Structure 1
Amino acid sequence: MSEKLPQQPQNEEVDLGQLFNAIGNLFQRLFNFIGKLFKGLFSIIIYAIKPLIVYFKFVLVIIVITTILGYIYQRTKAPVYYSNMVVKPNFDSKYQLSSNIDYFNALISTENIAELSNIFEIDSTYAKELVSFELEPGPETQNDLFIEYDEYVQSIDTSLVDELSYVEYIKNRDLMSGRLFAIKARSTKIDIFPKLQQGFKKTFENDFSEHQKKIRDTVAYLERQSLNMQLERLDSIQKTYLEAIRNESNNPNLSLGFGNALPLQEEKTATKEYDLFLKEQELRRNLNRLNQTVAEENTYYDVLSGFDKMGKRDKSFTRRYTMLFPVLALMLFILGFLAVKAFNYIKNYK
């Protein structure tokens, strides 16, 4: 039995050695895979820019020619101006706004000048100067996002709160999740933008938003009636307690106590009167909050910042043709080179 005992540590050392070797081989394969991945990406990049180096003179000629063509095209093309209007849609009219933006762009692309002129109530000479419309998220602060997340948490089942953190909520937000929206209008006419603002009024006033507003007004009316009724009943109860207090003061023989203990009726009445006062304040706060909400959201949309009287020059990359043309030419050149190489490889493949 004593001869078998020393063999146990040797077996454990063998097992640990095999385990460490397996872990080492696993890390080695991982590092080899990462190395091959970076090597492959590096090879792709080098192979993509290789034609630019091999045919450097030809590429230089292409850049010069396309830059000149881009400059000429930019000089002959009318400049594009843009302006933003920040709005806060109410009664879920933001969905109709998004749909109408797509509709306006479709009218512009099909050159339906008559319909655009009718929608925005502008002259056809102004309507044909429209270039595009774009809907973007409005300005939001970190506090706005925290408030929005808190309202969302309160509106869902408590069992789902732990499954969606604040970071995940912000990551999964889309354009329609916001409350503020920026409408970007582009036109070749620098002073057209104030004329477009009135046309967007039709966008927010639609059947669905009108239905939502009627529901809100009805619910607010019923809630206001309920609060006023509670205040009237509370006022009646307060008058009853005041009358009881006056009766107690006029009747010193009326008391509530135990033996020779001090009467307790005065303290009890005062406590209930104070509770009634607190309840009245709570009801009045709720009523004021309801009236404030109805007053603040009594229109289909609020304009936080209207269109500027004069638009700004659009200097985005897609409008800077002296840079856009050369970049597109180089991309086409590289794609053409790769296509030729692929064609020759397939042709000579055995």
Structure 2
Amino acid sequence: MSEKLPQQPQNEEVDLGQLFNAIGRLFEKLFAFIGRLFKSAFSAIIYLIKPLFIYFKFVAVAVVISMVLGFILEQTKEPTYYSNMVVRPHFDSKYQLFSNINYFNSLISSQNVDELSNIFEIDTAKAKALIGFNLEAGPETQNDLFVEYGEYVKGIDTSLVDELSYADYINNRSLMSGNLFTINARSHTQDVFTHLKKGFRKTFENDFSKQQKQVRDTTVYIKRLTYTTQLSRLDSIQKTYLEVLRNQSKNNKLSLGISGALPVQEEKTTTKEYDLFLKEQEIRRALNLLNETVAQENTYFDVLSAFDRVGKIDNNFKQRYIVLFPLLTIVFILLGFLVIRVFNYIKSYE
């Protein structure tokens, strides 16, 4: 038995060697597969752009012509100006804002200049120069999103809190979830933007928002009347307690203990002045909070950043035809050669 014992380490070394060899072969296959992927991608790219080099003269002429056409179009077309207004709607008027943005864009696309002129109270020339409106969320900071998520969690069932994380809430929130919105307006005229605020004021002051404000004001009036009534009653109770204390200090009544066993004690009327003071402070804090809420939301919307007096010129990529046209030309040329090669392959396939 002692002669067979030294053979066990040799068997273990053989097994480990086979294991390492298998792992090595696995990594070799993995690296080879990755290499084939890169090689295939590189070959596909070369195959795709190869016509650009084979027909370089034709491509160069087409690109130059498209650049000239883009330059001419940029110089001849009307300039586009834009301006933004950041608003905070109240009384759920944000839904009407979203609906009216789509309505304004439909009026612009249908060239209903008279209706646009009537809504924004501008002349028909400026109404005709409007290009469109866009509604975006924000601007919002990370802290604003955390506060919004906290308020949302407070308003739902506690059993659902664990199922909806902060990341899920942010990914699934819609445009209407926030309270801040950026209205982007674009026009061919530079001085129309300050006049657009009148039309958006009508948007926020709609029938539904007016009803919501009326309900809020009625509720606030009832709460304020309740708080003032409670304060008046507390004031009367405090005066009564003070009168009792004055009478007690004047009379200074004394009485003997039970069966004369206890010493002479002074009778005192139990009062709760401190509790009444705390209750009064609680009511006053609630009343102040109510007044602050009314003061902060006493309008249908707040303008955090108004439209610019003079719009900024729009120089985004979609407006740079001198760059956009050559790129589109190259894409169309590549697609054309690709279609021709596919057609020839299908035609010669047996």
Query: Do they superpose with TM above 0.5?
Result: yes
Contact 1:257–1:263 at 8 Å: present in 2 too? no
Rounded Cα–Cα distance in structure 2 between residues aligned with 1:255 and 1:173: 73
The farther-off stretch of 144-153 and 23-32 is 23-32
1:286 counterpart SS class: helix
Report matched runs for 1:18-57 at 5 Å: 34-57=34-57
Partner of 1:219: 219
1:321 shift after superposition: 1.0
| In 1: Cα distance, 2:81 partner to 2:257 partner | 85
Q: Secondary structure at the match of 2:170?
A: helix
Give distance in 2, aligned partners of 1:301 and 1:32: 63
Aligned to 1:293: 293
What is the CA RMSD across the aligned residues, in angstroms? 3.3
Q: Please name the residue that 1:329 is paired with.
A: 329
Q: Is the 8 A contact 2:119 2:199 kept in 1?
A: yes
Give the letter aligned to residue 125 of structure 1.
Answer: A
Equivalent residue, structure 2, for 1:170: 170
**Residue aligning to 1:180:** 180
Of 137-146 and 332-341, more deviation after overlay is shown by 137-146
Distance 1:197 1:176 in 2: 21
**Contiguous gaps of at least 5 residues in structure 1:** none
CA distance in 2, matches of 1:263, 1:37: 100
| Structure of larger gyration radius | 2
- Find the aligned partners of 1:209 and 1:105 in 2 and give their Cα distance: 23
User: CA 1:12–1:177 in 2, change beyond 3 Å: closer, same or farther?
Assistant: farther
Q: How does 1:87-102 map to 2 (within 5 A)?
A: 87-102=87-102
User: Compared with structure 1, are the counterparts of its residues 7 and 71 closer, same or farther at alpha carbon in structure 2 (3 Å cutoff)?
Assistant: same
Report the TM-score when normalising by structure 2. Answer: 0.85
- Change in Cα spacing, 1:283 to 1:60, as seen in structure 2 (3 Å) is same
Contact kept in structure 2, 1:52 and 1:59, CA below 8 Å: yes
Say yes or no: does 1:74 pair with 2:74.
yes
Q: CA deviation at 1:45?
A: 3.1
Pairwise CA distance, 1:323: 0.8
26 and 187 in structure 1: CA distance in 2 versus 1, 3 angstrom threshold: same
Check conservation: 1:257, 1:264, Cα contact below 8 A: no
**Displacement after TM superposition at 1:243 (Å):** 2.3
1:240 aligns with 2:240: yes
Aligned partner of 2:320: which letter?
R
- Specify the code of the residue in structure 2 equivalent to 1:132: G
Report the Cα offset of residue 282 of structure 1: 1.4
Task: Give the aligned residue type for 1:110.
Answer: S
**Any idea what the Cα deviations from partners look like across 1:83-139, whole Å, max 9, x if unmatched?**
111111111111111111111111111211111111111111111111111112232
Amino acid at match of 2:222: L
Secondary structure at 1:86 match in 2: strand
Name the residue aligned to 1:141: 141
Would the alpha carbon gap of residues 128 and 232 (structure 1) be closer, same or farther in structure 2, given more than 3 Å must change?
Answer: same
Structure 2 SS opposite 1:197: helix
C-alpha distance 19-125 of structure 1, shift in aligned 2 (>3 A) = same
Q: Give the structure-1-normalised TM-score.
A: 0.85
- SS of 2:186's equivalent? strand
Equivalenced residues, count:
347
Whole-angstrom distance in 1 between the partners of 2:63 and 2:267 = 99
Structure 1 residue 39: Cα displacement: 4.3
Larger displacement relative to structure 2 (237-246 or 25-34): 25-34
**1:313 maps to which residue?**
313
Corresponding residue SS for 1:303: strand
CA distance in 2, matches of 1:246, 1:94: 60
Equivalence for 2:110: 110
Residues 261 and 231 of structure 1, relative CA distance in 2, 3 Å threshold: same
Matched, 1:253 2:265: no
1:102 and 1:274 map into 2 onto residues whose CA distance is: 59
